[in-house]
Chains A and B, each alone.
Chain A
Amino acid sequence: MAPHPYRSMPPKAFWRRGVANGFDPVDVMARPLLIHRGEKVVSAGSCFAANIVPYLEAAGFAYVRTEVVPPAFGAIGDDNFSYGRFSASYGNIYTVRQAVQLIERAMGRFKPVESRWIAASDIVLDPFRPGLRYPACSEAEFDAITTRHLECVLEALREADVFVFTLGLTEAWLSRPDGAVFPACPGTVAGIFDPAMHAFHNFSVAEVSADLDRLIALAREVNPRLRFVLTVSPVPLVATATREHVLVATTYSKSVLRVAAGEAAERHREVSYFPAYEIVTGPQAPWDFYEADRREPSRMAIDNVMRAFLSRCESSAGGAPAAPTQAEVAAETPARAPAPEASGDTPDAMQALSRAVAEALCEEAAAEL
């Protein structure tokens, strides 16, 4: 039989041996390690991106958090600082353009015309974080909160070694004056839709590719040692603003993102592509990888994605870390302030002691201090 290139290919190169029989998500990525021992990780992206964080933390990796809920406010609710599921409280970032603009804003290079929406004299909304649970009471408060938030974005990038970014959508709503990209259409989560001010845009491969190049360049300007792991969210669009069926629009969107991510990984030595999208959406994926709405990836799907992801990471002991159990993952509580390193005292202990002191003083007041 004549020699040809396929003769030397490994089993995974063949559908029958790589997928139809004995598929293991751990085999889908052959690239070098995504995260090396001791490296710190920052992440951003669509809602799927937040799923990886508790797995990374449960597996012992250092996830950078620069904007956290102060412990005294932890009891209000898990989402009380809103958007606390990432390294800083930027919330879901669905498009690459929005990520680019976030870093440009943090670097002082982009000041959106629609920097805020004033809903009432004491309600100032953030167009780029429309779901914040507690809107600012004044523009002064809005400025203080936003300035600190953007500082935290830069701190997170500076502190990290690896930036995991999950591409979510190509469809976006822009502010007409300067092209500022909103995470949600004005009027849906917050704000008021104004056709004179707001326009729909569906990004092309060329645009997403250019934006990825810009994102990588900006982030590395902040921190030259940063490496990148790109993933594409397997979560379909909740709705499309195109005239297409949402399934067709989803396929376009994910295809564009997948191509752009893959090309970026080819173009940039410091960029890797991790195939979370393929693991969840491929024909090999079981029906149970999605919930009943066929949109929300199931826990089983995320477990498989993260098992494959962690198999390409190096634990503190060397080698891939053991995949964490569900209990370990669930135990991770994002967006809480870590215990202060210097003292070893926990925030809970601090609150307990504050209470003890206050109560003791009350007792003493009664005893005629």
Chain B
Amino acid sequence: MSSLPSEGREFVLAGHSNKWALGTPRGHSGPPALVQRECFGRIGHFAVEETPLPRSVTYWNLFVEAARDRDAVLSYEGNQHVIGFLFVPKPGFDFIEPTVPGPLAARAAIIPRRMVEARFAPSMSGLRSLLKRLQEGGARRCLVVGTPPPSDDIGRFEKEVRSSAFWAKTFEQQKFNIESAQFVSARLMLKLWAVLQDVTEAATREAGGTFIRVPDFLRDANGFLAPEHRLRQDFTHAADSFGQEMLRHTLSA
């Protein structure tokens, strides 16, 4: 029988879009606030904000202040492998990622993995400075949660995008020809995600935090997001079931 959560075991959770799956209450209106919830025998304080993007300074300040003497659980960005890579001009590129074995794309430019790391590196500056602030503010531990791997059903998303009025309008605004657009392959996106996890882990460690990798049991045999945790219309985020398992895994670290 577990005892009541003590003050020392409380945590504060904040971050970007993957925080929703981790249990952040949706539909908040008003200024940034903390919503308390018990999770896996611990008291959690979830930072909420009305405006989805970008997070306001007030939101981050609230997080830093609330993290004093508590564990800070952070889901920071995590979509860099989609931003800039969803569409690729022919002949595209590929690279060796040891965790995603298999043949390289034919006729693609083969680039060094270090180049991909360098591509993601600048996006870590915000994470580093936030971790620094959290530590200076007295956070007990800084836990950075790994973001969900992509699904291997990007083809389904592609089909939806090509037939959706919403996306047609978005494409038109960008003066982009939806008919000829070439989507990235699911394997390449998985590789990019794998590098992003490594880069995020390195940045977290350098800043004195702990990075929580996505465990194998939340992934399929090829490393993609396990089917039971996928969302129907969104291939970059995961279902709440993934988030709950990830939060349990994080809090047990």
Contacts and interface: CB of A to CB of B under 8 A. Distances in A.
Interface of A: 67-68, 70-73, 75-76, 80-81, 132-138, 140-141, 144-145, 147-149, 337-340, 342-345, 347, 349-369
A148 B109 contact: yes
B109 A70 contact: yes
Contacts of B52: 362-363, 366-367
B207 interface: no
Interface string B172-208: 0111110111100000000000000000000000000
A361 B170 contact: no
B53 A354 contact: no
B233 A358 contact: no
Q: How large is the interface on B (under 10, 10 to 19, 20 to 34, 35 or more residues)?
A: 35 or more
B84 A138 contact: no
Given A70-B93, A369-B232, A353 B87 contact: yes
Contact of A134 (B118, B173, B235): B118
Nearest to B233: A369
B236 A358 contact: yes
Contacts of B235: 361
A362 B55 CA distance: 12
16 contacts: A73-B115, A132-B112, A134-B111, A134-B118, A340-B180, A342-B90, A345-B87, A345-B180, A349-B176, A353-B174, A356-B174, A360-B170, A365-B17, A366-B17, A366-B20, A369-B232
A141 B161 CA distance: 34
Top 10 closest A-B pairs, CB basis? A343-B180, A354-B86, A134-B114, A134-B112, A350-B87, A70-B93, A148-B110, A362-B17, A366-B52, A358-B82
B35 interface: no
Nearest to A351: B84
A81 B237 contact: no
A365 B90 contact: no
Given A141-B113, A343-B177, A73 B86 contact: no
B35 to A, nearest CB: 15
Interface string B9-30: 0000000111011000011000
A80 B118 contact: yes
Contacts of A345: 87, 89, 176-177, 180-181
A362 B79 contact: yes
B41 interface: no
